[in-house]
Structure 1
Amino acid sequence: MQNKLKIINDPVHGFIKIPHEILFDIIEHPYFQRLRRISQTGLLSLIFPGAKHTRFHHALGAMNLMFKALETLKLKGVKVSKEEEKAAMLAILLHDIGHGPFSHALENMLMDDWHHEKISILLMNRLNKEFKGKLDLAIEMFQGKYHRPFFNQLISSQLDVDRMDYLKRDSFYTGVSEGSVNVERIISMMNVSDEKLVIDAKGIYSIENYLTARMFMYWQVYYHKTAALGEHILVQILNRAKYLVSKNFDLEAPSNLKYFLVKNKFDEATEEDIRRFTMLDDMDVFQAIKVWTENEDFILSKLCRTVIYREFPKSIISSKPFSEDFLKQKVEKVNQYFNIKNGEELVGQISRSLLPYDTEKQPIYLMDKTGQTMKLEESENQILFGCMENATKKYIIYFPREIL
C-alpha cells in the first residue's frame, strides 16, 4: 500500500506535511497537477526574472499555513475535529483549482464571465462526486457557509492563509523584501472569540506590518506599470485573436486554446468545455503567442512580439487620468507611422486602484487579555492605520516606442 502521508520540501516554508491521505489523492489528481503549468503571477517574470513559481506551489503553501493555524488554535483550547481540519485543508488546497492560463490575467476571457472561483466550485463538485462525497464539508467552508465562521475566515478574509502565502511567496521569488511577512508570528497570535477569528492584541504591529507589506507588494510588484501593462497586453492578444477567428481568419493554435477562441457562449459549462479547460494551461497560450509573432495581422503580431521579445511599449504612470486629446494624438501618430487605421489597438490607458484595508468588509478584530474584542482601527495602539483606510488609484498610458 502506498504511503500517502508524505513531506514536501518547499523553499518558502520548509517542510510541508500532508497529514491526511485524501490531501495526497487530490494533489495527485490531474485537475490539481495542471496547476504546475499555471503561473502564479502571470507575466511578472518579464520584470522580476525569479517570479517563475506556480499556482501549484502556492496552493501547497496555503494548505501548510492552514495546518499551522489550526494547530495553534487547538493549542489555545479551540475545539477542531479531525474532519474539520481535513475539510479546511482541502478547501484551501483547492481554492485556485479553477484558474486558467496566466492566472488572473485572462480571467473571464476564455469563458465569458466565468470567474475562477465559479470554475473552482464546479471542479470541486466534480471531484466530490469522484471521491464519493468526501469534499462536502470542504465545499461548504469554501463557499463561506460553515456555521463556525473562523474556518471561512481562514480561507477567505482580509487575514486569510491564501494572502499570507502569496505575499511571502511572491516576495521571495521576486526578491522584493518589502513584501516579506512574518506569517509565523501572525499565526501564533491567532485566536477565536465567539467562533470568529481574532488576533491577540499584542500582535497588532505584526498585523499592521502585514497590511503595509501587502500595500507595498501591490504598488511595487503586482501594479508595477510594466507588470500591469503585460497583463493588459495578454488580454489584448486574446481579444484580437478571438476577433480574427470571428472574422474567419484561420489562426494556428493548440487545439484546446482554439476551442475557446472559436466558442463564445458558456451559459452552462458542458462536458467538453470542462474537459478542454482542464487541459488548458500557460504552455498552450505561450505556444500560440510565439506562432502569432509571425502572423500577417499587424496588430496581433505586434502585440505578440511585445511578450516574446519583451518589446514593451512606452508607458507613463500618473495619479491623474490622461486626457482624451493626449490619447487621440498618440493614436494619430501611430496610424501615420505604421500606415494603419486602427492605431487605437496599440494605444490605451489602464488604471489600478487599491484599498489596503477595508473597514467594512470582514474587518480584523483584536482581543485583549480580558477577552474583549475591538476592530483594528479602534485600537489606541495602532500607528500605521491612517495610511491604509483610503483607496489610491494610478493611471497608466502606453503607446509604441517608435513614435517617440
Structure 2
Amino acid sequence: MAKPLGQLHEEKVFKDPVHRYIHVRDELIWKLIGTREFQRLRRVRQLGTTYLTFHGAEHSRFSHSLGVYEITRRIMDIFHGRDQWDDSERLLVLSAALLHDVGHGPFSHSFEKVFGVDHEEFSRDIITGDTEVNSILRLMGDDFPHKVADVIAKTYPNKLVVSLISSQIDADRMDYLLRDAYFTGVSYGNFDIERILRVMRPTEDGVVIKSSGMHAVEDYIMSRYQMYWQVYFHPVTRSAEVILSRILHRAKELYEDGYVFRESLTHFESLFKGNISLEDYIRLDEGVMQHYFLLWQDERDEILSDLCRRFMNRKLFKYVDMVSISDIHELYKLFEEAGLNPKYYLIMDSSSDLPYDFYRPGEKEERLPINLLKPNGEIRELSRESDVVEAISGKRRTDHKLYFPSELIEAMDDENVKQKIKNILYK
C-alpha cells in the first residue's frame, strides 16, 4: 500500500468572497481538488436556474464545496484536543465535506426528476468507483473511500462525524446560505457564523451548541426560512425549472418515439435509454446541456423548439396561484381545443419546506434536532428553549402555482376559448 498522504510543504489558499480565504494544508485535500471529477463542479451552477431570476447567481458547486470544506476545517481546529473528538477522523470528515456534492448533475434537481437519477448515489459511485477521486482516496487505505461514502450516505457509525456534514446545522447549510445570499445580492441568508462556530461542541451523538449561542442559532434558522421563500422557491425561478424539465421530457419522449434529431445525441442517448454509465454521467455539465438546447431551438418539433427558445432567451411562463382541480380539468380541455398541448404548456408546480423540526422517531425524513448545552451540562432541544424556533417547529409551508404561456393564450384565434381560459386563470 502507498504511503498515506501528509501535510503540504506550503499551505495553499483560495481567495473566497464569503470566507475571505480557504486554507488547504493537507496533501490529500489538494490532490482531491485537482481531480477531473471535482473540477467538473466548476461547470455546474450551485443554484441551477436561479441566475434567470437573480443575475448574480452564477456561482458553482465547486466554490460551494470548497466553502463547506473550509467551514469543516475551522470546526476541526475548534474541536482539536477536546473530549469526544478523535483527531484520527479529521481527514475523513474533510474529505466528505469536500466531496459531498461531487455527484451533482447539471441543473441538479430538474435533471434528477426527469431521468430518475440520484446525485447522492453518483457521489458515492464517484468516490468508490474507477475514478481519479477514488485513486486519491485509496492512498489513505483501501477502505477509506467507502468510509467517505458512508459519511455522505449518513450510514457511518460515528454520529458526530455525520452531523458535521448532514444535520440541521451543518457546514453544508451554513455555506450555502451565506454564499447564495452573497451571489443573489439579498440579505436574508446572512447570520453570525463566527459566533456559531465558537459555541459548537462535540458530543458522542453529534454537535451541540452552548446555550449562550442560542440567539445566533435562532438567526441562522430564520435566515434559512427566508432564503427558501425569497430565493430558492422564487416563482420566476420555478418557471424556468418548469420549462427546463419540459424540454428534457419532450426530448426524451421524441427519442422514444423514434424521432430523428438533426444532431447526434451523444451525451443524452444513455440517459434516454435509462442505462447511463458513471463515465457518461461525469461528462455531463451545464455547458453540454445548453449546447443541446441551442441546437434544439432549430428542431422541426415545434414544442421542443419553442421550449428551448424560451429557456435560452428567458421567455418564461407566467403564473397564478393554483386553481381548483375542476378548473384544472376544464383548462386542460380548453388548451387542447385551442391546439396547445397542456402537458407542456399548463404546468402545476409545488414547493414545500420544513424550516426546523425536532426529532420524530419513525417518521419519514427524520431530522436530528439542534441541541443546546446548558451551563449545568444538561442537553436541551432548541425549540424547548427558544420561543422563536418553537413558533415554526414542525410547521411545513407549501406553495402551489400554475404556469402557462400568457402570450400564446392572447394569440388564440378563438375568442370564446381565450376568454374562458382567462376567466379561470384570473378570477
TM-score normalised by L of structure 2: 0.85
Give 2:126's match in structure 1, choosing from 123, 128, 137: 123
Aligned to 2:251: 241
Q: Please tell me whether residue 20 in structure 1 is matched to residue 26 in structure 2.
A: yes
| C-alpha contact 1:204 1:382 (8 A) present in aligned 2 | no
1:358 equivalenced with 2:357 (yes/no): yes
Note the alpha carbon deviations across 1:241-276, whole angstroms, 9 max, x for none: 000011111224575423235412x4xx6xxx1111
> How far has the Cα of 1:238 moved from its partner?
0.5
Q: Aligned partners of 1:64, 1:253: CA distance in 2, in Å?
A: 43
Question: Is the Cα–Cα contact under 8 Å of residues 38 and 62 in structure 2 kept in the other structure?
Answer: yes
The Cα offsets for residues 139-190 of structure 1, whole Å up to 9 and x where unpaired, read as 3322333343111101111111111111110000001101112222211110
Alignment gaps of 5+ in structure 1: none
Amino acid at match of 2:211: A
* Corresponding residue number in structure 1 for 2:348: 349
Q: Secondary structure at the match of 1:249?
A: coil
Residue 307 of structure 1 is aligned with which of 311, 315, 334? 311
* Cα 1:245–1:93 shift into 2, 3 Å: same
Q: What's the RMSD between the two structures over aligned residues? A: 2.1
**Counterparts of 2:44 and 2:280, CA distance in 1:** 15
3-state SS, counterpart of residue 403 of structure 2: strand
Matches within 5 A, 1:223-372: 223-252=233-262, 255-264=265-274, 266=275, 273-317=277-321, 321-337=322-338, 339-340=339-340, 342-360=341-359, 361-372=367-378
Match of 2:96 in 1: 91
| Structure 1, 284-293 or 240-249: larger mean CA deviation | 284-293
3-state DSSP of counterpart to 2:188: helix
Pair 93,336 (structure 1): closer, same or farther in 2 beyond 3 Å: same
Distance 1:254 1:10, change over 3 A: farther
Partner of 2:396: 391
CA spacing shift, 1:252–1:32, aligned 2, 3 Å: farther
- Larger displacement relative to structure 2 (287-296 or 390-399): 287-296
Distance 1:43 1:173 in 2: 13
Q: Is the 8 A contact 2:242 2:347 kept in 1?
A: no
Distance 2:263 2:216 in 1: 48
1:41 is aligned to 2:44: no
Q: Percent identity, aligned pairs only?
A: 31
Inter-partner Cα distance in structure 2 for 1:80 and 1:371? 21
User: Is the CA contact (8 Å cut-off) linking 1:185 and 1:206 kept in structure 2?
Assistant: yes
Note the residue ranges of structure 2 that are not aligned, 5 or more in a row: 1-7, 360-366, 411-427
2:62 counterpart residue number: 56
Aligned to 1:172: 182
Provide Cα deviations, 1:32-60, integer angstroms capped at 9, x if missing partner: 11100011111101000000001001000
Q: Distance in 1 between matches of 2:166 and 2:262?
A: 40
Check 1:252–1:54 CA distance in 2 against 1; reply closer, same or farther (3 A cut).
farther
Q: Which amino acid aligns with 1:36?
A: R
Deviation of 1:65 after TM superposition, in Å, equals: 0.4
Q: Structure 1 CA distance, aligned partners of 2:12 and 2:285?
A: 27
